[in-house]
Amino acid sequence: MTAVTVLTPDVLRFDEPARILDGRPIAAEIRESVRRQARSFRARYGFSPVLAAVVVGHELASSVYVQQILRSCAAVGVPSRVVDLPRTTTADALRRAIEGLNEDREVCGIIVQQPLPRHIPLGTVTDTILPAKDIDGIHPLNTGLMALGYEGFLPACAEAAVAIPRFYGYELEGKRAVVIGRSNIVGKPLALMLLQKNATVTICHSATQNLKAMTLQADVIVAAVGKRNVLTADMVKPGAVVIDVGMNRNDEGKLCGDVDFEGVRQVAGYITPVPGGVGPMTITMLLVNTLEAAERSQGS
Instruction: For residue range 242-257, list pLDDT tens digits in order.
Output: 999 998 888 898 889 9
pLDDT score recorded for residue 18: 86
Spell out where the chain has E strands: 19-20, 50-56, 80-85, 107-112, 176-180, 200-204, 220-223, 241-244, 248-249, 255-256, 270-271
Q: pTM for this one?
A: 0.89
The domains found in the chain, sorted by start residue, are: 47-135 (3.40.50.10860), 155-279 (3.40.50.720)
pLDDT tens digit sequence for 184-194: 989 999 999 99
The pLDDT of residue 1 is 41
Nearest-angstrom CA–CA distance, 81 and 122: 21
